[in-house]
Structure formats: structure tokens, C-alpha cells
Amino acid sequence: MVRRLLFLGTPEFAVPSLEALVASSEFQVEAVITQPDRPAGRGQRLTPPPVKAFAQAHDIPVLQTERLRRDTRAYELLQSAQPELIVVVAFGQILPRDFFGYPECGTINVHASLLPRYRGAAPIVHAILNGDRETGTTIMLIDEGMDTGGMLSSRAVQIGEDMTAGEVEAILAKDGASLLLQTLPSYLEGRIAPQPQDHSMATYAPRLEKQAGRLDWTRPCNCLHNQIRAFNPWPVAFTTFRGETVKIWRSLVRELNPTLGPVAVAVPGAILEITAEGFWVQCGDSAPLLVTELQMPGRNRVNGRDFANGLKIQVGEQFK
């Protein structure tokens, strides 16, 4: 039996799930609903969301909407497609009850955390900010709350100590698609039932503003490292050097280089030593951070050693 469905999603994270559904003989993707094209890149050229690009390449009808709940076209599509199921993956908008309550088999969401931990728009970022070593994906039913619906399945993955948000997202996108395809048949055949979340254990992960990426060098080394990882690839952690804003793309937490000697009295943000990997920067807990990839305004990303050589940086200079 082939099930008719609508797919709602926008970014690259949603593409593996859509691809898996399209490839499956058990489902027919009637249409895709996604967000409008947005300016992107240095030239701010209008760019379609990844889900739209994939759908068009596979001749799937696409509806783009800024506000689903106010768009009569979306409701007309819902009536004409008559989906038995709606699948939502990182759509970026809250679904109205008239929409998620329509399909007879419900509306399924692929969420990038182990619910009830990290409900909200930025679960991966918050997991890394908090130094978590584990995250995962949850397949759940959508209800009126924010990621509060019953859970159908979940699967954990490990977060490496140097993994960025972008790297974790790529893993979860594929793992979530795999879990979705494993879960849907059992759910649709009545072999698994939604399990309620323990709302007392819920934590929230709201979207962060760009300014939250500013590095405060008086904070502990591990906290700064997690901040750099969490904000890669967006909005990218940053600091100030010689009066200019510098993006910090990557760093490493390593045991203290014995050649550095005592550094407890160094000023936070001070450059302690330049090495082949990058350079050591003093943090607030007397432990230095090894900064390995940076970017000056209007320039390309470079490794720490090339950055130091290009600007003729001296030991003792300071990030602020």
C-alpha cells in the first residue's frame, strides 16, 4: 500500500529525509511546502532552499510560503493532495492545528535531539554549547506545543570533542532519515504507539542571535571551545584583534604545551605562543586554547599559523 504524503522542510538538514521518502516504494510525495528563496553568499543572490532544489530536480510540486497559517494556497494544496500523512523536517514555521490535524495518520516530525531535552529551533547548537557528548534524533508526532508531541522512536549518536555544529547536523540529518524510514511502517501498521514525553525533564533550545557568538576570553577554555564549535557554520564565533572583528572557525583543547611555562598571570585573550597548528590564547581559567582557523573581514579562512605569519603577530598581543 502506497501512502500519500506532504513533506514540509527547508534547509539541507531536511533533504536526506525527503530523499529517503522519494526513494521508498511505500510512499508517494504529492508535494513539498518550503520557505521562500533567500539572499545568500557574498553577492546576496536570491537562492532557493535546498529542499526546493531537490524537489524540483525530482519533478515534485513545490509551494513556497512565508506564513503557512495565513496562506490560502497551502490549505488548497492540502485539500487537493489529500495526504494520509504529513512529514515535517526543519520547516522553520509553526504548523496551525487545521494543518497538522488534517491527515488521518497524523503529522510526523524528525527532531534533532533526544526529547524532551532541547525542544526548540536550535537543539544541536545548545547541545554543543553545553558540552554534551551525546545527542540524537527523535521521531515524534506534532501537536499544538513546541516539540511536545508523543515520541515514536529515538536514536543516540556521540558528539566528538572537536566536532562542530555543522558536522553533527550532517550526521543527524542522515541518521534521522534512516530512523524515519525504519519507524514509519511500524507506526502506520499500528505496531508502535506514541509515548508521552516527561515534560518535567524538558529543556529549551531557542535560536541564538549573532551577538551571542562574541568570545569572552575571561571564560574557561572548554566553554570557549564549545562556543566556537557550536557557532560553526553559523553565525560563527568572533572576537576583536587590532580593532577589527575576526571570526574564529576552529579551535582545539589540548594539554598545556610545556614550552609555555607558567601562564596563570597572563591576560585573558593574550597570545602565548605560535606553533605549526595555530597559536595558544590565554583563557579565564589559566588554561590556554589552541586557535587553529580564523578569518579577517573580506578575506578567506586560514589556519592559525598562516594567520599569524600574514599579520606578523607577536606573542603578547591580545584578542578582546
Q: What percent of the chain has pLDDT over 70?
A: 97
Q: Could you read off the pLDDT of 41-72 as tens digits, one per residue?
A: 777 889 999 999 999 999 999 999 999 999 99
Q: How many CB atoms are located within 10 Å of the residue 62 CB? A: 17
- Model pLDDT, residue 43: 78
The DSSP bridge partners found for residue 271 are 281
pLDDT of 13 > 80? The answer is yes
- With 90 as the cut, is the pLDDT of residue 286 above it? no
What's the pLDDT band for 261 if we cut at 50, 70, 90?
Answer: low
Percentage with pLDDT > 90 across the chain = 88
Q: CA-to-CA distance for 128 and 135, rounded, in angstroms?
A: 9
Distance CA 281, CA 289 (A): 5
What is the residue extent of each domain of the chain? 3-201, 210-311
Q: Which CATH class is domain 210-311?
A: alpha beta
Q: Please, which residues bridge with residue 108 across strands?
A: 87, 141
Sheet holding 151-158, edge to edge: 62-64, 27-34, 3-9, 85-89, 107-111, 134-141, 151-158
What is the predicted pLDDT for the residue at 168?
98
Identity at 257, one-letter amino acid code: N
Torsion angle in degrees (nearest 10) through CA of 85, 86, 89, 95: -150
CATH of region 3-201: 3.40.50.170
Is pLDDT above 90 for 264?
A: no
pLDDT above 80 (res 212)? yes
Picking from 90, 96, 145, 86, the residue whose alpha carbon sits closest to that of residue 113 is 90
C-alpha cell at 88: 515535517
At 297, the pLDDT band (50, 70, 90 cuts) reads very high
Give yes or no for a contact between 139 and 110, defined as CB atoms under 8 angstroms apart.
Answer: yes
Instruction: Give tens-digit pLDDT for 82-102.
Output: 999 999 999 999 999 988 899
Name the most confidently modeled range: 106-115, 266-275, 281-290.
106-115
Three state DSSP letters for 147-208: CCCCEEEEEEEECCCCCCHHHHHHHHHHHHHHHHHHHHHHHHCCCCCCECCCHHHCCECCCC
What confidence tens digit (pLDDT) does each residue in 99-140 have?
A: 889 999 999 999 999 999 999 999 999 999 999 999 999 999
Task: Note the pLDDT of residue 18.
Answer: 98
What pLDDT, on a 0 to 100 scale, did the predictor assign at position 1? 85
- Looking at residue 285, its pLDDT comes to 83
Separation CA 77–CA 37 (nearest Å):
20
Please tell me the predicted confidence (pLDDT) of residue 44: 85
Q: What is the pLDDT of residue 139?
A: 98
Q: What are phi and psi of 234, to 5 degrees?
A: -145, 140
Q: What is the pLDDT of residue 257?
A: 59
Q: What is the dihedral of CA 180, 185, 188, 191, to 10 degrees?
A: -110
Task: Give the pLDDT confidence score for residue 122 in this predicted structure.
Answer: 97
pLDDT at 265 exceeding the cut of 80:
no
What does the pLDDT average to over 146-169? Answer: 97
